[in-house]
Amino acid sequence: MKKYLSLVTFTHTIFAMPFAFIGFFLAVTTTSYRFDWVKLVLMVLCMVFARNSAMAFNRYLDRNIDSKNPRTKQRDIPSGRISPASALTFTIINCLLFVITAWFINNLCFYLSPVALLVVLGYSATKRFTALCHMVLGLGLSLAPIGAYLAVTGQFALTPLFFSLAVLCWVSGFDIIYALQDEDFDRDENLHSIPAWLGKVNALRLSTFLHVLSAAFVIMPVFFTPVGFGYLYYAGIVFFCAMLIYQHLLVKPNDLSRVNFAFMTTNGIASVVFAVFFLLDRLWIR
């Protein structure tokens, strides 16, 4: 179990899972649908299974690339801790569990489950042909809030879409920062990434622009949600934006020593704290 948790870097679940809770409780507090423990558990399981399949497939598909990269050659498959066949089997099992769990939620989630898998699994191949791979990763994680909303209501709405767009821009932006570490390697191996395409300076500028858009999208629900937000949500917006600014202060084109801290710690805190402010605000309003 420890090896498989390492394979899928389970701690990175902290990025999208809080936004899934946002989507779920947005539906519960702004529509006529009531809170349902069973649906909440099923939603969490879908998140876990989808992410497990995406990460395991990424490690499987990138195993030869990872073995060449000094930064990644100690990952589970290149180091021999997990075989490629085991990683692929783990991927297939989690894909099946995801689809089955979606079936228990509602028909719409079940019908859309293959589409969601296509996005989250397809990301792993994109670096081979497009520098927009970071946006595809962002798209995959952006399914969390809208998917959780659909789990409750079974229908689309505008407000959860703003949260999904916020996640798309936020994740794409911080993945560009993370990819700065592999700029030279990607270029040497003919892999596509924004840093390899635009260079460090311009990559950071694009990341900043995406994070400005992310900040705008977390503000937009204020104007479109039928049940308004209170001061706690505004405090969450301020905190989230402050963490976006902070991670850009940590990373410079000529100093990447704090990239991992900016990537994992800063964004993990931003996601969790923002979700907590959102949930407290919803409970207060409720």
Q: Report residue 105's pLDDT band, with 50, 70 and 90 as the boundaries.
A: very high
Query: What is the per-residue pLDDT for 265?
Result: 83
Q: Write the pLDDT tens digit of every residue in 173-211.
A: 999 999 999 999 999 999 999 999 999 999 999 999 999
H and E: helices and strands count for the chain = 14, 0
Compute the 3-state secondary structure of the chain and give helix, strand, coil in percent, each to the nearest 5. 80, 0, 20
Query: What is the per-residue pLDDT for 63?
Result: 93
Quick check: 69 and 182 in contact, CB under 8 A? yes
The average confidence (pLDDT) of the chain is 92
Token pair, residue 81, equals 């801790």
- What region does 157 belong to: left with phi over 0, alpha with psi -120 to 50, or beta? beta
- Reply yes or no on whether the pLDDT at 286 is more than 60: no
Measured on CA atoms in the order 22, 24, 28, 34, is the torsion positive or negative?
negative
Q: Report residue 11's pLDDT band, with 50, 70 and 90 as the boundaries.
A: low
Q: Alpha-carbon Rg of the chain, whole angstroms?
A: 19
Q: Is the pTM of this model over 0.85?
A: yes
Quick check: 228 and 236 in contact, CB under 8 A? no
Q: Write the pLDDT tens digit of every residue in 148-172.
A: 999 999 999 999 999 999 999 999 9
Quick check: 158 and 31 in contact, CB under 8 A? no
What structural domains and CATH numbers belong to the chain? 2-285 (1.10.357.140)
Q: Which residues are within 8 A (CB) of 195 and not within 5 positions of it... i.e. 6 or more apart?
A: 176, 179, 180, 182, 183, 186, 203
